[in-house]
Amino acid sequence: MEVAKVIIDQNSHHTDRPFDYKIPGELREAVKVGSRVQVTFGKGHKKMEGYVLGVKDIEKPRYTIKNLQGVVQNVPPLSELQIDMILWMKKTYLCTYMEAISAVAPPKAYGNIKEKKDVYVRRKISSEKLESQLEKTPNNAKRQREILQYFLEEEELLLKSLPGIKSLYKNAVNALEKKGILEVIEKEKASKLLSMKSPSNPPRVPLTTEQKKALETMKEGFQQTQQNGVKGKTYLLHGVTGSGKTELYLGLIEKALEMGKTAIVLVPEISLTPQTMERFTARFGEAIALIHSSLTLKERYHEWEKIQQGKAKIVIGARSAIFANLENLGMIVVDEEHEYTYKSEQNPKYHAIEIAKYRSEKEGAQVILGSATPSVESYYRGEKGIYELISLDRRVTKHQLPQVEMVDMREELDVGNLSMISGSLKSQIEENLKNRGQTILFLNRRGFSTFLSCKKCGYVEKCQDCDITMTYHLPSDELICHYCGKKKKPITECPDCGSTTIKHFGYGTQKLEKNIENLFPQARILRMDVDTTTEKGAHEKVLNAFKNREADILIGTQMISKGLDFPGVTLVGIIAADSILNLPDFRASERTFQLLTQVAGRAGRGEDLGSVVLQTYKPEHYSIEEAIKQDYVGFYKREIGLREAFEYPPFTALYLVNLMGEDEDKVYNTAIKISKGIRYILKNEGHSDCLEECILGPNPSVITKINKNYRYRILLKNINIDKQLLKKVLKYVCINKRKQFVPDEVNLSIDFNPY
Q: Which residues are annotated as a binding site?
A: 454, 457, 463, 466, 481, 484, 494, 497
Sheet of strand 366-371: strand arrangement: 288-291, 314-317, 262-266, 329-335, 366-371, 234-239, 388-392
Q: Is 245 in the site for ligand ADP (CB under 6 A)?
A: yes
Instruction: Please identify, using beta-carbon distances, which residue of 218 and 696 lies nearer to ligand ADP.
Output: 218
Contact 491, 461 (CB under 8 A): yes
User: Shortest gap between Cβ of 140 and Zn ion (angstroms)?
Assistant: 34
Looking at residue 113, the DSSP 8-state letter turns out to be P
Instruction: Please identify, using beta-carbon distances, which residue of 494 and 512 lies nearer to Zn ion.
Output: 494
Contact 525, 412 (CB under 8 A): no
Which range touches ligand ADP (CB under 6 A), out of 151-159, 205-213, 476-484, 544-552? 205-213
Considering only residues 339-398, where is the footprint of ligand ADP by CB under 6 A? Answer: 396-397
Considering only residues 196-215, where is the footprint of Zn ion by CB under 5 A? Answer: none
Q: H helices of 364-447, where?
A: 376-384, 409-414, 423-434
Q: Point out the annotated binding site for Zn(2+).
A: 454, 457, 463, 466, 481, 484, 494, 497
Cα(340)–Cα(70) distance, integer angstroms: 42
Q: HSE (CB half, 13 Å, CA atoms) of 382?
A: 22
Instruction: Please identify, using beta-carbon distances, which residue of 247 and 585 lies nearer to ligand ADP.
Output: 247
Q: Is 211 in the site for ligand ADP (CB under 6 A)?
A: yes
Among 126, 137, 208, 293, binds ligand ADP (CB under 6 A): 208
As a 3-state breakdown, the chain gives helix, strand, coil percent values, each rounded to 5, of: 40, 25, 40
Burial class (CB in 10 A: 0-12, 13-18, 19+), 66: middle
Q: Is 403 in the site for ligand ADP (CB under 6 A)?
A: no
Element (H, E) at 226: helix 209-228
β-bridge partners, 713: 658, 699
Contact 237, 370 (CB under 8 A): yes
User: Shortest gap between Cβ of 715 and Zn ion (angstroms)?
Assistant: 10
User: Shortest gap between Cβ of 543 and ligand ADP (angstroms)?
Assistant: 15
Considering only residues 209-248, where is the footprint of Zn ion by CB under 5 A? Answer: none
Q: What angle do CA 533, 128, 422 make, to 5 degrees?
A: 85
Cα(725)–Cα(731) distance, integer angstroms: 10
Considering only residues 498-517, where is the footprint of Zn ion by CB under 5 A? Answer: 499
β-bridge partners, 611: 403, 571
Q: Is 251 in the site for ligand ADP (CB under 6 A)?
A: no
Cα(92)–Cα(454) distance, integer angstroms: 44
DSSP structure string for 532-589: GG-STTHHHHHHHHHHTTS-SEEEESGGGGSS---TTEEEEEES-TTTTTTSSSTTHH
Element (H, E) at 158: strand 156-158
| Sequence-separated (6 or more) residues with CB below 8 Å from residue 405 | 424, 611, 612, 613, 614
Pick what 494 binds: Zn ion, ligand ADP, none; C-beta below 5 to 8 Å, kind-dependent. Zn ion
Contact 715, 483 (CB under 8 A): yes
Cα(316)–Cα(192) distance, integer angstroms: 14
Pick what 457 binds: ligand ADP, Zn ion, none; C-beta below 5 to 8 Å, kind-dependent. Zn ion
Which range touches ligand ADP (CB under 6 A), out of 236-244, 416-424, 504-512, 588-596? 236-244
Q: Is 158 in the site for ligand ADP (CB under 6 A)?
A: no
User: Shortest gap between Cβ of 699 and Zn ion (angstroms)?
Assistant: 9
Pick what 9 binds: Zn ion, ligand ADP, none; C-beta below 5 to 8 Å, kind-dependent. none
Q: Other CB atoms closer than 10 Å to residue 424's CB: what's the count?
A: 15
Pattern 647-686, ligand ADP, x by CB under 6 A: ----------------------------------------
Specify the 3-state DSSP secondary structure of 238.
strand
User: Shortest gap between Cβ of 463 and Zn ion (angstroms)?
Assistant: 3
Considering only residues 544-573, where is the footprint of ligand ADP by CB under 6 A? Answer: 565
Q: Other CB atoms closer than 10 Å to residue 5's CB: what's the count?
A: 17
Specify the 3-state DSSP secondary structure of 268.
coil
Q: Is 490 in the site for Zn ion (CB under 5 A)?
A: no
Q: Is 380 in the site for Zn ion (CB under 5 A)?
A: no
Pick what 242 binds: ligand ADP, Zn ion, none; C-beta below 5 to 8 Å, kind-dependent. ligand ADP
Considering only residues 453-482, where is the footprint of Zn ion by CB under 5 A? Answer: 454, 456-457, 459, 463, 465-466, 481
Among 30, 158, 497, 633, binds Zn ion (CB under 5 A): 497
User: Shortest gap between Cβ of 576 and ligand ADP (angstroms)?
Assistant: 25
Among 483, 507, 617, 712, binds Zn ion (CB under 5 A): 483
Instruction: Please identify, using beta-carbon distances, which residue of 483 and 566 lies nearer to Zn ion.
Output: 483
Which range touches ligand ADP (CB under 6 A), out of 55-63, 107-115, 160-168, 204-212? 204-212
Q: Is 282 in the site for ligand ADP (CB under 6 A)?
A: no
Pick what 484 binds: Zn ion, ligand ADP, none; C-beta below 5 to 8 Å, kind-dependent. Zn ion
Binding site for ligand ADP (CB under 6 A): 205, 207-208, 211, 239, 241-247, 396-397, 565
Give me the residues that bind Zn ion (CB under 5 A), please: 454, 456-457, 459, 463, 465-466, 481, 483-484, 486, 494, 496-497, 499
